[in-house]
Structure 1
Amino acid sequence: MKVTLIGAGSREFAGKIVRDLLLSEPIAEKGLEIVLMDIAVEPLAQMEMYTRQLIERLDHAATVSATTDLNDAVAGAAFVVTAIEVDRYHYWSQDFTIPRKYGFKQVYGENGGPGGLFHALRQFGPLLEIASAIEAHAPEALFLNFSNPEHKVCEAISRLTSVKVVGLCHGYFYGVRQISALLDIPSDQLELPAAGINHFTWFQAVRDKSTGEDLYPRLRELEHEANWVSDWHEIGLSRILFRRFGLWPSPSANHIGEYISWADDYVPAQLQYFNDPGDGSPWRQGASTPEWHYHIGLADTDRPFHAPRPSGALEDQPLEASEELAIPIIEWVACGVERPLPAVNIPNRGAIPGLPDDMVVEVPARAENGTLVPLSMEALPEGIFAMVRLQGSIHKLLVEAYVERSKAKLLQAILLDPIVDNHNRAVAMLDEFLELQKDALPPLT
Structure 2
Amino acid sequence: MRVAFIGAGSIFTPLGLYTIATSEVLRNAEVYLVEIEGERRKFITALAEKIKRTFKAGFRVTPLRDVSELENYGVDYAVISVEKERYERWRLDFEIPHRYGIRQVLGENGGLGGLSHTLRVVPLVLSIAGVIEDINRDAHTFIYSNPEPRVTYAVLNYTSLKNVYGLCTGYLERKEMLAPLLKADEREISLIAGGLNHFTWIRELRINGEDAYPQLDEALKKRPDFEPLSQLLYRTYGLFPSPDDNHIGEYLSFAWPLIPEEKKGLKWIERTRKEGDEVRRLLRLFLRGLVPKFAFNRFVKFPDVAMNVVEGLEGREKLQEAINVPNRDYIDLPGGTIVEVPAEVSPKGVKPLRVELPREALAPLRVQAEIQRLSAEAAVEGNVEKVIKAVLLDPVVHNAKAGLRAMAELMRAHLDMMPQFTEGDVEEIKGFIHR
Provide the aligned length of Structure 1 versus Structure 2: 408
Residue 191 of structure 1: how far off its partner (Å): 4.4
Q: Does 2:271 correspond to 1:293?
A: yes
Are 1:319 and 2:296 an aligned pair? yes
* Pair 1:428–1:16, CA change in 2 (3 A): same
Kindly tell me: are residues 218 and 57 of structure 1, through their superposed partners in 2, closer, same or farther at Cα, counting changes over 3 Å?
closer
Shift in Å, 1:89 = 0.8
Find the aligned partners of 1:99 and 1:173 in 2 and give their Cα distance.
30
Other-structure match for 1:281:
none
What's the secondary structure of 1:341's corresponding residue?
strand
Q: Indicate the residue corresponding to 2:361 in structure 1.
A: 384
382 and 125 in structure 1: CA distance in 2 versus 1, 3 angstrom threshold: same
Residue of structure 2 in register with 1:398 after alignment? 375
TM score, norm. by length of structure 2: 0.87
1:272-421 matches, cutoff 5 A? 274=266, 292-294=270-272, 312-317=281-286, 318-320=295-297, 321-323=300-302, 324-334=304-314, 336-352=315-331, 354-367=332-345, 371-378=349-356, 380-421=357-398
Q: Trace 1:201-280 onto structure 2 (pairs within 5 A).
A: 201-207=200-206, 210=209, 214-223=211-220, 225-229=221-225, 232=226, 235-269=227-261, 274=266
TM-fit CA distance, 1:389: 1.0
Distance 2:101 2:301 in 1: 39
Q: Measure, in 2, the Cα distance between the counterparts of 1:144 and 1:209.
A: 29
Once the two structures are superposed, residues 224-267 of structure 1 have per-residue CA deviations (whole angstroms, 9 ceiling, x without a partner) of x22323xx4xx222111111221101111111110111111211
Deviation of residue 128 (structure 1)? Answer: 0.8
Distance 1:271 1:389, change over 3 A: closer
Query: 1:393 Cα deviation (Å)?
Result: 0.5
Deviation at 1:4, TM superposition (A): 0.5
8 Å contact kept, 2:97–2:113:
yes
Q: What is the DSSP-based 3-state SS (H/G/I as helix, E as strand, rest coil) of the residue aligned with 1:204?
A: strand
- Give the alignment's TM-score, normalised by structure 1: 0.85
CA contact (8 A) 1:18 1:51 kept: yes
Match of 2:43 among 46, 51, 61: 46
Q: Which has the higher helix share?
A: 2
State the Cα RMSD in Å: 2.5
The CA deviation string for residues 79-115 of structure 1, in whole angstroms up to 9 with x for no partner, is 1112110111110111121111111110111111110
CA apart distance, 1:272:
5.9
Aligned twin of 1:155? 153
Measured against aligned partners, the alpha-carbon deviations of 1:257-282 in whole angstroms (never above 9, x if no partner) come to 1011111121121576649xxxxxxx
Residue number among 106, 128, 149 corresponding to 2:104 in the alignment: 106
| Identical-pair percentage | 34
Q: Provide the C-alpha distance between the structure 2 equivalents of 1:186 and 1:404, rounded to a whole number of angstroms.
A: 46
Could you tell me whether the CA contact under 8 Å between 1:16 and 1:322 is conserved in 2? no
Structure 2, unpaired ranges of 5+: 287-294, 426-435
Q: Which amino acid aligns with 2:342?
A: P
Give the match for residue 126 of structure 1: 124
**Shift in Å, 1:58:** 2.8
Amino acid paired to 1:420: V
* Contact 2:115–2:375 (Cα < 8 Å) also in 1: yes
Name the CA distance, whole Å, in 1 between partners of 2:60 and 2:49.
Answer: 8
Q: Is 2:34 the partner of 1:56?
A: no
Deviation at 1:161, TM superposition (A): 1.6
Question: How far apart, in 2, do the equivalents of 1:309 and 1:146 lie?
Answer: 20
Per-residue deviation, 1:150? 1.1
CA contact (8 A) 2:149 2:338 kept: yes
Cα distance, 1:440–1:181 mapped onto 2, change above 3 Å:
same
